[in-house]
A and B are shown apart, each in its own frame.
Chain A
Amino acid sequence: MSKYLLNKFLFTVDRDPDLVERYREDPVGTVSWWEAGEANRILGSHGGESSTWLRFDDTERAALSTHDYPKLFELGAHPFLTLTLFIALFERDHEPMGFQTEYARRLAHFTLPYPDIAT
């Protein structure tokens, strides 16, 4: 299990306008493409110096591939990263603040202590 890699996906997609749209339209394809070619890239380095050991487990891959943000919260993905990206993905489909309040409702079954986000 890699909270770090979940966060790396959220971080690298969120900061790229094209990737945000691609992930919205094709989550399965985007996650598959990203895991194959981007997951091991050390940010700021060329591909010849990529890491060799990073991969999602099945649960993580499924959560990202289905836009399942409550599951990402349960897995300990950084909640700020998840919130920011998912607002970019889906706020446009709701009334102002509607997505944010729905997001809270869908997480309402979580109680303290929340899942650990330390990486």
Chain B
Amino acid sequence: MAELVAVIASTHHPFYYRASTATGEDRPPFADEWVRKIEAFRETLTKARPDVLVMVGSDHFHQFWLDNMPQFLVGKAPFYDANWYNEEREFGLPKMFLKGQEDLSAYVLREGLDAGFDLAFSNELRIDHSITCPIITLRPQNDLPIVPIYTNIFAPPLPQPKRFVQLGQTIRQLIESWPRAQRVAVIGTGHLSLELGGPRQFGPHGPDPEFDRKAVDWIAGGDLEKCLGEVTLESLHLPGNATHGFMDFMLMMGVAGEGQKADYTDTYDLFHTMEAYFTWYPGGGAR
């Protein structure tokens, strides 16, 4: 059977690539500390020695559109091109190319359907920065095959928060029952409080530091019960109009498990948003 060797939840900040590679006058003052934090976070994945990465993210109206919008979708392809023209334009992200772990994609689809999730699929998926950002931060050598899983946190009507948690729990069960001797890490990215295209955007901090503090505590403590008790589709409008991306963090709490404290937690208070990085080692430590 496969082994789940690491569960990682992270924000995906599309400006990291540009900030971390800028030099001279173009390098922002917060870049050096940001790079230090990312390199420490990266080590938590490296130590787990994964063979395969299951990558949870959300398409930002790149390939999926309102004429045909999946709620949860699994990529099943041998390869994935990545990053789109408007991400290159706005964030300076490079074009990328990733290998797919197609047999695990097929397994997740078949077994996921049978476990009660009517997953959509894509055999030709160009992935976006919700998945390439964590490749850039956590595995910049981009040498491992992936299974991309997209969630809809973007175009209402959205699934309820509990469905994200349940999907995370199901993903964990499927990985642990995959009959291949492979070391699998699950990496999912989302947001804490975030406002995009609204009056609270691009402030000196995230739009709701109090929500961010609570959210970090829920995630770090694995406190799914409290999180699910406070978070609803309606309540997520309050901390910022793009905060529904927090449900991808809830999905990752589902992968990690109720009551499971993160083995690694770090945050970085940037303009515009709070960065947050979490790693769990399900087997009790990287081996």
Contacts and interface: CB of A to CB of B under 8 A. Distances in A.
Interface of A: 4, 7-8, 11, 14-15, 17, 42-43, 73, 78-84, 87-88, 97, 100-101, 103-105, 107-110, 112-114, 117-119
Interface residues of B, number: 27
A101 B84 contact: no
B202 interface: yes
Nearest to B62: A15
B238 interface: yes
* A interface SS class: helix
B89 A7 contact: no
B115 interface: no
A112 B199 CA distance: 10
* B interface SS class: loop
A91 B198 CA distance: 16
Nearest to A107: B199
Given A79-B241, A88-B86, A114-B237, A4 B66 contact: yes
B225 interface: no
Contacts of B237: 112-114
Contacts of B66: 4, 7-8, 11, 119
Interface of B: 60-62, 65-67, 84-86, 89-90, 154-157, 196-203, 237-238, 241-242
Contacts, number: 76
A109 B196 CA distance: 16
B24 to A, nearest CB: 15
Nearest to A100: B202
14 contacts: A15-B85, A43-B65, A43-B67, A73-B197, A79-B197, A100-B202, A103-B201, A105-B199, A108-B199, A110-B198, A110-B199, A112-B238, A114-B198, A114-B237
